[in-house]
Homo-oligomer: A and B are copies of this chain.
Amino acid sequence: MTMKVIESVAGMMEFSRQLHLQHQRIGLVPTMGYLHEGHLSLIRLVREKSDRVVVSIFVNPSQFAPGEDFEKYPRDFERDQSLCRQEGVDCIFHPAAAEMYPSAHRTSVITDQLADKLCGLSRPTHFQGVTTIVAKLFNIIRPDIAVFGQKDAQQSLIIRRMVSDLNFPVQILVAPIVRETDGLALSSRNKYLSPAQRAAAPVLFQALQEAEHLLQSGETDSNKIRAAMMAKIQAVPEAGLDYLAIVDFQQLEPVQQIASGTLIAVAAYFGATRLIDNIIIA
C-alpha cells in the first residue's frame, strides 16, 4: 500500500471506515508536523501494535494563545512526508485549519483541575485546544490506539483523563522522551534557539538529572531537591524559569516527599522560546 495523504475530514472518515470494515487496527500518531526522532519513535511504537498507522499533521491554532508562535511554528510538509514514507506510515491526515474549524465552531472539551496547572498557568487556553483537537481526531480517524510523547507529560495525563471520562474507545500509549546526545529533549521548537541558547538548553535535563542523583542518594524532600535544581538553572543566564513543579502524576498537586509516581517537570524560556522537560519517578 502506498502512503495516502488525505486533506479532507470526509475522506479521512471514509478511509478509516474502510480499514475498520477490513478489521484493521488503526494506530494514530497526532503531531503538529516538523517531525523529529521523537515523533519517529512514536510512529515505530504504534507500528508494532497496529495494522495501519495514521500520522496526523496539523498545526492546531486553538492550542496557541494570541502572541504565541502559531504563525512561525516550523512547517516542512515535504520533509514530513518523506520521513513518514520511510517509516512505513500508511496515511497522513493533513487538513487545513478551515477544514477542522469551520467558522461556526463552538464546542470544546475541557478538563477541570488539571488544565490550569503547570503549563496551563502560562498557557491558560492551551489544554482546552489540545483536548478539543484530539477529540476531533479520535472521532475522524477512530484509532484503536494512539501514542503521545512523555515530553508533554501534562498533556498525556489530560488526554488519558479525557479518554477515560468520555469513554473514548482508544488505547493511549505514552512513549519515552527522545534526547539529543547532550540531554536536550527533542522538540520542533529547538529550531528557534540561537547557538548560545542551544548550548544552554541542556540545563533543564541536567537539573532533572541532579534530582535523580539526589533521590538515588536517599534525599526525598521536594524542597531540597527543588533548591538544588533551581541553583543549577539559575546559574545559566540564558534560562528564564517558567515553573519547576514537583507533583503527583495524577492530580498534579505538589508533594512534600518525592515517591514513585512523582512528576518533576520544568519549563523555561531561552529568549522567546519556551522549552519543557520532565521525569516521572519510577
Residues of A within 8 A of B (CB): 9, 13, 17, 20-21, 23, 102, 104-114, 131-132, 135-136, 139-140, 142, 161-162, 164-169
Task: Tell me if A136 and B20 are in contact (CB < 8 A).
Answer: no
Contacts of A142 in B (CB 8 A): 169
Name the CB-closest residue of B to A168. B139
This chain's copy number in the assembly: 2
- A152-B107 Cα distance, complex, nearest whole Å: 19
Task: Tell me if B161 and A9 are in contact (CB < 8 A).
Answer: no
Contacts of A23 in B (CB 8 A): 21
Contacts of A107 in B (CB 8 A): 109-112, 131, 161-162, 165-166
- Choice from B17, B106, B164 contacting A165 with Cβ under 8 Å: B106
Contacts of A106 in B (CB 8 A): 111-114, 161, 165
Query: Sorted from nearest, which 5 A-B pairs have the closest CB atoms?
Result: A107-B165, A139-B167, A106-B112, A140-B167, A107-B162
Contacts of A131 in B (CB 8 A): 107
Pick 17 A–B contacts, CB within 8 A, sort by A: A13-B167, A17-B169, A21-B23, A104-B161, A106-B111, A106-B112, A106-B114, A107-B110, A107-B112, A108-B110, A108-B111, A108-B112, A109-B110, A109-B166, A110-B110, A139-B166, A139-B167
